[in-house]
A and B are shown apart, each in its own frame.
Chain A
Amino acid sequence: MTFNLKDFKSIDSGLSKERMDVFQEGLDAVSTLHLSKAFQGIKAVNDLSISFPLGLVTGLIGPNGSGKSTLINLLTGLLKPDAGSIVISGHAFSYIKPYKLRKFKMARTFQDARLVEQLSVEDNLLLGVAQNKIEKSLFELSTKAYRKKLEGVLIKTGLKEHRFKKAEELSYGLRKLLEIGRALMQDADIYIFDEPFTGLSPKMVDEVLSIIEILRLQAKTVILIEHNMGMIEKLSDYVIVLDHGTLLASGAPKDVLKDKLVKEAYLGV
């Protein structure tokens, strides 16, 4: 069974009135139209047309190899699609270079935290905000200009006491938090978190939960890739399930997670 956005709107999803208003407008933050990408003949994303609603937390799930990471890499310009197009904030394109995506204010994390290992926590965070006009960035000693934002993110992520450590000295969980912090520094409208809870201690899980809750309250669009179904059910307003690069199901979490096809493909029951 596949839900579409129109059906979903009629479902009482328990959203607050304000968030429901945003949702009722039916705007998409990001959508794909017949998007395809193959690697050596194997279709990782196959004629995929999906939408991530504006201002909501959307869970993106699917078994390993279902095309989630490829999809994210396509959306963020790290991969070039073979066919199809992407629409971000109403702008359609078949491919856009990552530096041009800056204007759409999209921030992402990676499944395995990608950090600049020999730079400090502070410098890793500041990487998210640097001026991209080279002639300006050459004379931009940005730590001053971004100090306030930096302090806020250090507190939110619990990294304040580690601020001068090199990224390579951090534990797995702290690395994940640092990556999330870097995304927050970008002050984005669309956040893509790739398995943000993996390997975190219970305290860190709470920190990430509160970060996502704040983003939810700010009506930011969040795309959450996660294997923990409890988290997906708890955090997502909307769920998209991929399998073999195609859309298997989408809709309200409580319905999608009960779907027979989803259970068979993903949960193996």
Chain B
Amino acid sequence: MEYFINIGILFCIYAMLALSLNMVVGLSGLVSLAHAAFYGIGAYAVAILMTAQGFNFWGAMCVGMLLNGITAFIVGKILSKFKGDYYAIVSAGLSVIVFSVLLNFKSLTKGPLGIYGIGKPAIAGFHFYSSASFLALAFLFVVLFYALFVLIDKSSFGRALKSLREDEVLTVSLGYKTTKYKSLIFTLSAIMAGVAGSFFASYIAFIDPTSFQLAEGIFFFTMITVGGLSSAFGSVVGAALLLTLPEALRFLGLPYETAAQLQQLIYGALLVLMMAFRPQGLFGKFRV
């Protein structure tokens, strides 16, 4: 049972990441590969503040969200000048920079040694030590993120984002301040990724920079591509599928090295198949 609860917690963290990333990529058409960076900032904010500064989880998470908000706002302003592939490349650059900082700023992040002993959240004296309670809390945030996604999707803000995704010139001609729209959705998404990072750090209790590499951002991207762009439900399905796939391989009894290679092979094949036969993903509402 404990195994399934742990899978459930990881699913919640990935679902938060997929929902937040899909707002940028699916709703707005901005191919962001910066998500691992914001995930990492959120995680490290909680790890550093809880272990070295005596913050509680919520305070540390809020600082992480704020940090992500400021970083994303500044980077988003720069990114909003770019389009398509250039946007992806510049955003990937942020992931590389943040990873380098996490790895090399040893006095703050302890570099490759990582940070351990990260605490669990508590509300009014109740500590979420047990996996089941942690799962319930993480699930609550998934529901909140899901609701926020749907709200944006149905709002005129979301409609403008979708217009921007397909034809920026048209959106501009209709009187929308497209750079502000891009910047805002990017910032919001980064703040949400920070929350996911906070949960991850608290759940694992030990983090090091390898969890926040560019490759991780590409993995999140794969989740939403498979699940479906511009779809809240697709985001959640994508997270579930890509999380359970390696778990399923585990039961095949293959040697670890083979399973790891096979996993990468399957991810690649999945992406190719999706692009060829269902470019909008399983439940997607937007076709690239």
Interface residues of A (CB under 8 A from B): 76-78, 98-99, 101-102, 108, 110, 114-119, 123, 126-132, 134, 137-142, 182, 186
B156 in contact with A118 (CB, 8 Å): no
Cβ of A128: which chain B residues have Cβ within 8 Å of it? 174
Cβ of A126: which chain B residues have Cβ within 8 Å of it? 156, 159
**Closest Cβ of chain A: how far from B156's Cβ, in Å?**
4
Cβ of B174: which chain A residues have Cβ within 8 Å of it? 98, 127-128, 182, 186
A140 in contact with B156 (CB, 8 Å): yes
B156 in contact with A130 (CB, 8 Å): yes
**Closest Cβ of chain A: how far from B282's Cβ, in Å?**
17
Interface of B is mostly: helix
Cβ of B169: which chain A residues have Cβ within 8 Å of it? 78, 114
- Closest 8 pairs (CB-CB, A-B): A130-B156, A102-B175, A137-B157, A142-B156, A138-B157, A114-B170, A137-B156, A140-B156
Query: 10 A-B residue contacts at CB 8 Å?
Result: A114-B167, A114-B169, A114-B173, A130-B160, A134-B177, A138-B152, A138-B157, A140-B155, A140-B156, A142-B156
Cβ of B157: which chain A residues have Cβ within 8 Å of it? 130, 134, 137-138, 140
Category for how many chain B residues contact A? 20 to 34
Contact with A along B171-185 (1 / 0, CB 8 A): 011111100110010
Identify which of A78, A119, A131, A140 contacts B173 (C-beta below 8 A): A78
A118 in contact with B176 (CB, 8 Å): no
Cβ of B184: which chain A residues have Cβ within 8 Å of it? 134
Cβ of A98: which chain B residues have Cβ within 8 Å of it? 172-175
B285 in contact with A118 (CB, 8 Å): yes
A108 in contact with B173 (CB, 8 Å): yes
**Closest Cβ of chain B: how far from A8's Cβ, in Å?**
31
From B151, B167, B173, residue with most partner A Cβ within 10 Å? B173
**Closest Cβ of chain A: how far from B81's Cβ, in Å?**
15
Q: What is the bound-complex CA distance between A137 and B172, given in angstroms?
A: 16
A118 in contact with B170 (CB, 8 Å): no
A116 in contact with B173 (CB, 8 Å): no
Cβ of B173: which chain A residues have Cβ within 8 Å of it? 76-78, 98, 108, 114
B156 in contact with A99 (CB, 8 Å): no
**Closest Cβ of chain B: how far from A194's Cβ, in Å?**
12
Q: Is B116 an interface residue (CB 8 A)?
A: no
Cβ of A118: which chain B residues have Cβ within 8 Å of it? 162, 166, 285-287
B155 in contact with A139 (CB, 8 Å): yes
Cβ of B170: which chain A residues have Cβ within 8 Å of it? 110, 114-116
Identify which of A108, A116, A123 contacts B167 (C-beta below 8 A): A116
A127 in contact with B177 (CB, 8 Å): no
Q: Is B28 an interface residue (CB 8 A)?
A: no
By beta carbon, the residue of chain B nearest A100 is B175
Q: What is the bound-complex CA distance between A117 and B170, given in angstroms?
A: 12
B159 in contact with A127 (CB, 8 Å): yes
Cβ of A78: which chain B residues have Cβ within 8 Å of it? 169, 172-173
Q: What is the bound-complex CA distance between A252 and B251, given in angstroms?
A: 83
**Closest Cβ of chain A: how far from B133's Cβ, in Å?**
32
Q: What is the bound-complex CA distance between A98 and B163, given in angstroms?
A: 15
B162 in contact with A134 (CB, 8 Å): no
Cβ of B162: which chain A residues have Cβ within 8 Å of it? 116, 118-119, 123
Q: What is the bound-complex CA distance between A130 and B171, given in angstroms?
A: 11
Cβ of B163: which chain A residues have Cβ within 8 Å of it? 116, 119, 127
**Closest Cβ of chain A: how far from B234's Cβ, in Å?**
15
